[in-house]
């Protein structure tokens, strides 16, 4: 009897006119939006490959100390982080396309205007203020917003892929910029990354959509929901979410661990690895190529971390990642030299796999703990990441000026990573995970 009913239903469905049947696209639009987001993050991340390459050229040309240059980089990193939570709220208010297109234009303006600077305060305005505000508006909170709106299933995997976009930008632009600086000077390299940001703007404007309901779709793996009305009072909401989250213990543990993450990656490796290698008589182009190789394995490690986050306890994953990172940093001063030896290659591969593998489990814990506010909470956690990066970008340069060596900075970073591993294990599980955390 049941088979007869099902057969009749199929016959009735075949008799329906084609236009009456619900249309199911072969490839869900969410994947196109994710692809545009990936390219956008690459374009915005182009500038992030530059500062570490320019510390020595700017020091030679203008006589600025490494501490001064590091201060400009630290302003960029701090604003990158502090802008992120407000950017997430602004995307709720004005839409993703408007915010991201404006941010890309701001990055391009700062990078290109830097060609005409003659004083260190201009470096801080162009590279610190303009680029920091622009890149902050396309920070990982952007990826979190896209993931939360367009995906229910495969969130961990998509987070890993979008996080890897920054490493992809590093892979593309580090060797290119190193070659340009070596052959033509630092100014053409700065213009190149500025133009890279501008090229992405049309893709964002034409292909990005703010919400699945804009094209009549449900999120990938979810059910259809109406697009919410624009959220007014973006800044007020962002601050309120911060105060609410700050009353909880997991927020401070997540912020603390992520600050150490930023200190040991963007603040240390991305900013000071190239001049550190140059101190040890390694050519700049070779050091930049090693950073690019880190980017290759970062892509693999981050996507794999997203896959693991969908399946295992995010707290334990974080503890393992930070512990392994700390061990690798302790060994780096013993491995560096004028030539690239097998132990150094092992460090680059190992560190690359761990570079931002911390992002998918950190975002998953934010989602578990804070539900609908998780993108903004993650923005504040990211702010701590960038503050940690800013502190080490500045203090690393000061340590090199005062001590004549970077060694103590690597040892201190290794000890901080050990602390982050312990902090990760004491993050409590949410008593009742919000529905948004599923998938």
Kindly report the number of other CB atoms within 10 A of residue 5's CB atom: 9
CA–CA dist 268, 396 (Å, integer):
7
Average pLDDT in the chain: 81
Structure token digits, residue 319: 């503890």
Amino acid 17: pLDDT: 44
Q: Is the pLDDT of residue 156 over 60?
A: yes
Q: Is 252:262 a contact under the CB 8 Å cutoff?
A: no
Contacts of 324 (CB under 8 A, 6+ apart): 350, 354
Torsion-angle region of 137 (φ positive above 0: left; ψ -120 to 50: alpha; else: beta): alpha
Helix segments in 29-151, DSSP class H = 29-45, 51-62, 66-94, 96-113, 120-123, 131-136, 140-150
Instruction: For 165-223, write each residue's pLDDT tens digit.
Output: 776 676 678 778 888 888 888 889 888 888 888 888 888 888 888 888 888 888 888 78
Question: Span 232-248, mean pLDDT?
Answer: 83
Residue 5's pLDDT band (boundaries 50, 70, 90)?
Answer: very low
Q: Is 97:208 a contact under the CB 8 Å cutoff?
A: yes
> Which residues lie across from 220 on neighbouring strands?
151
The most confident of the ranges 84-98, 171-185, 289-303, 386-400 is 386-400
Question: Span 93-118, mean pLDDT?
Answer: 87
Residue 280 is classified by DSSP as T
CA–CA dist 362, 5 (Å, integer):
49
Q: Is 126:113 a contact under the CB 8 Å cutoff?
A: yes
Q: Is the pLDDT of residue 13 over 50?
A: no
CA–CA dist 217, 165 (Å, integer):
25
Structure token digits, residue 81: 């982080």
Per the model's pLDDT, the better-predicted residue between 17 and 263 turns out to be: 263
Sign of the dihedral through C-alpha 302, 305, 309, 310: positive
Question: Span 222-232, mean pLDDT?
Answer: 76
Q: How far is CA 321 from CA 97, 150, 302, in A?
A: 34, 28, 11
CA–CA dist 262, 357 (Å, integer):
12
Per the model's pLDDT, the better-predicted residue between 344 and 226 turns out to be: 344
Instruction: For 272-310, write each residue's pLDDT tens digit.
Output: 888 888 888 888 788 888 877 887 787 788 888 888 888
Q: Is the pLDDT of residue 91 over 60?
A: yes
Whole-prediction pTM value?
A: 0.68
């Amino acid at each position: 009897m049941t088979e007869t009913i099902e057969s009749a239903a199929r016959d009735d469905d075949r008799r329906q006119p084609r236009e009456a049947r619900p249309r199911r696209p072969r490839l869900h639009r969410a994947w196109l939006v994710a692809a545009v987001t990936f390219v956008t993050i690459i374009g915005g991340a182009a500038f992030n490959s530059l500062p570490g390459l320019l510390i020595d050229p700017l020091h030679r040309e203008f006589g600025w100390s490494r501490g001064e240059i590091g201060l400009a980089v630290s302003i960029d990193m701090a604003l990158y982080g502090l802008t992120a939570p407000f950017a997430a709220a602004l995307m709720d208010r004005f839409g993703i396309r408007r915010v991201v297109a404006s941010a890309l234009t701001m990055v391009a303006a700062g990078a290109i205007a830097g060609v005409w600077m003659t004083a260190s305060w201009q470096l801080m305005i162009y590279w610190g203020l303009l680029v920091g505000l622009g890149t902050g508006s396309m920070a990982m909170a952007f990826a979190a917003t896209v993931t939360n709106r367009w995906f229910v299933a495969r969130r961990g995997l998509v987070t890993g892929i979008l996080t890897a976009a920054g490493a992809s930008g590093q892979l593309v632009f580090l060797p290119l910029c190193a070659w340009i600086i070596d052959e033509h000077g630092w100014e053409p390299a700065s213009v190149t990354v500025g133009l890279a940001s501008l090229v992405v703007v049309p893709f964002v404007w034409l292909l990005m959509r703010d919400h699945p309901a804009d094209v009549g779709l449900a999120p990938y793996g979810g059910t259809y929901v109406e697009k919410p009305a624009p959220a007014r009072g973006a800044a007020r909401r962002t601050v309120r979410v911060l105060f609410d989250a700050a009353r909880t213990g997991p927020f401070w543990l997540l912020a603390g661990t992520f600050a150490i993450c930023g200190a040991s990656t963007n603040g240390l490796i991305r900013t000071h690895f190239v001049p550190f290698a140059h101190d040890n008589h390694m050519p700049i182009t070779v050091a930049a190529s090693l950073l690019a190789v880190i980017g290759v394995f970062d892509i693999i490690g981050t996507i794999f971390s997203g896959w693991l986050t969908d399946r295992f306890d995010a707290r334990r994953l974080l503890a393992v990642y930070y512990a392994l990172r700390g061990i690798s940093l302790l060994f780096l001063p013993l491995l560096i030299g004028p030539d690239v030896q097998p132990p150094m290659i092992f460090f680059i591969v190992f560190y690359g796999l761990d570079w931002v593998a911390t992002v998918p489990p950190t975002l998953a814990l934010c989602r578990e703990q804070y539900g609908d506010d998780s993108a903004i909470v993650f923005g504040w956690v990211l702010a701590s990441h960038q503050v940690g990066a800013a502190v080490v970008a500045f203090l690393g340069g000061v340590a090199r000026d005062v001590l004549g060596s970077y060694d103590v900075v690597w040892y201190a970073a290794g000890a901080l990573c050990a602390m982050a591993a312990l902090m990760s294990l004491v993050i409590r599980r949410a008593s009742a995970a919000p529905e948004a955390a599923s998938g």
